[in-house]
A and B are shown apart, each in its own frame.
Chain A
Amino acid sequence: MVQFSLWDIFTFLLGALRWTVALSLIAFIGGGLVGMGLLLLRFSKLRAAATAVAWYVQIFQGTPLLMQLFLVYFGLALLGMDTSPLVSAAICLTLYASAYLTEIWRGCVNAIPKGQWEASTSLALNFTQQMRHVILPQALRVAIAPTVGFLVQIIKGTALASVIGFVELTKAGQMISNATYQPFLAYTFVGLLYFALCYPLSWWSQRLENRRLA
């Protein structure tokens, strides 16, 4: 039987951690872009679009991420698309993140006093100009802390991508566990690596929040 040293385990997991980071970044950046588009629709005068976005958010918030992953993974296959686990996971997590981010940012936009909308309206700015130059720059300050906080949720959410066969940190831990028969050791390493990734972000988010309230 092949023996694995702790160092072997660690480097293998570290390799897999790169995929966790990659998937998180794809979901965060993709979700941010989609979420920003949804946010604009949410506040536009297009009533139907705003309602559709509200439902989109409710659907993603009201179902487990695990189920969303299954639906996207098997759904894309049904549509005849030849999907890899990475593509499925990236699409699903992007949509998931977009729903949550758009909702977080909606709250931040709502925190901007009505007078800012009225003043910019009375200066004849159109909706896009108001958003771009008046509302979003102010909402951004409020949004940074909860947005960074949500990035932590995304990182932990990528663990679920292991169930559709994507080899990221959790899946790698599973493989190590199967090969070494030492599940506790394997998952301890996995847990420590997640923590090493998430804790600095949580700490940073907390600090941003405190600074904003100071």
Chain B
Amino acid sequence: MTPSSTPRFALVDIRGLHKSFGVTEVLKGIDLQVGRKEVVCIIGKSGSGKSTLLRCINGLETFERGSLAVDGQTLQHSDANAMRELRQQVGMIFQSFNLFPHLSAGRNVMLAPTLVKDLPKEEARTRAQALLERVGLGSLFDRMPDQLSGGQQQRVAIARALAMAPTVLLCDEITSALDPELVGEVLQVVEMLADEGMTLILVTHEMAFARKVSDRVVFMHQGLIHEAGTPDKIFNRPQTPELRQFLSALRD
């Protein structure tokens, strides 16, 4: 595929990405373009490299070969300033929430805008309050993270990422650490973001959710994108035996 045949400008443009941990090659040449407002779910067995790929996009992992650009900005690991510029564009939500335990929910949300964007305290507070309301936690501004349920913590983490007004949001198995009854409230928030046109790249094990929100589903296998397509194509008409096997193992 030549660049000219790509109709839309790719917000996240990954080409020939290779990444090794020591002698183990985890990413063996990934090509992935994600358009603005697109919702892409990455599925696959653990160890297939999906989390690593996600972590490469905001520079939490370095890679050896290939290129990665977000909104036209090429990722350069050696340039700390350029990396911070990029990270303002790319929000990330983690499996283990990673809220700052010494700060209240509201202060978790306020911290980065006041430090990185020099937003005045009062404005940051107003915005944090609004963001917490958006994720359904408007009354919990002053709660400390350990006084919140897992689902609430993860929703604060989403608000915290949104506070930097990112153009793309990465979600790394964000419901895997949650009790089953708390998964819904978090996915609901993500769905709301998808509906509002946020560009989302999610690594997830929630297949029903992936089917519902995705524009495109990417199946990774052994460090490569093995199969990709619309949710309908991936879940209803899988082409490769590996994907069929992966899907049938989930149904058991």
Contacts and interface: CB of A to CB of B under 8 A. Distances in A.
Report if A and B associate in a common complex. Answer: yes
Contacts of B112: 120, 123-125
B58 A122 contact: yes
Interface residues of A, number: 19
Interface in B84-120: 84-85, 87-88, 90-92, 94, 96, 98-102, 111-112, 115-116
Contacts, number: 61
A64 interface: no
Contact of B80 (A126, A134, A141): A126
B160 interface: yes
Given A133-B111, A137-B102, A138-B101, A124 B94 contact: no
Q: Which interface class (under 10, 10 to 19, 20 to 34, 35 or more) fits B? A: 20 to 34
Interface string B62-92: 0000000000000000001000110110111
Residue from A116, A122, A138 with most neighbouring chain B CB atoms (10 Å)? A122
A133 B115 contact: yes
B164 interface: yes
Nearest to A118: B60
Given A125-B112, A133-B115, A119 B98 contact: yes
Given A118-B60, A119-B94, A126 B84 contact: yes
Given A126-B80, A138-B102, A115 B94 contact: yes
Contacts of B60: 118, 121-122
B164 A118 contact: no
B93 to A, nearest CB: 9
B87 A121 contact: yes
Contacts of B96: 115
A119 B100 contact: yes
Interface string B50-63: 00000000111000
A127 to B, nearest CB: 8
A129 interface: yes
Nearest to B55: A118
A129 B160 CA distance: 16
Contacts of A129: 115-116
Nearest to B160: A123
A124 B100 contact: no
Nearest to B112: A123
Interface in B193-244: none
A166 B90 CA distance: 59
Nearest to B116: A124
Given A119-B100, A137-B102, A125 B116 contact: yes
Contacts of B58: 122
A124 B87 contact: yes
A123 B111 contact: yes
Given A133-B111, A133-B115, A124 B88 contact: yes
11 contacts: A119-B157, A122-B58, A122-B90, A122-B91, A123-B112, A123-B160, A124-B85, A125-B112, A133-B115, A138-B100, A138-B102
Interface of A: 45, 113, 115-116, 118-126, 129, 133-134, 137-138, 141
Given A123-B111, A123-B164, A124-B84, 19 more contacts: A113-B98, A116-B98, A118-B60, A118-B94, A119-B92, A121-B59, A123-B112, A123-B160, A124-B87, A124-B88, A126-B84, A133-B111, A133-B115, A134-B100, A134-B111, A137-B102, A138-B100, A138-B101, A138-B102
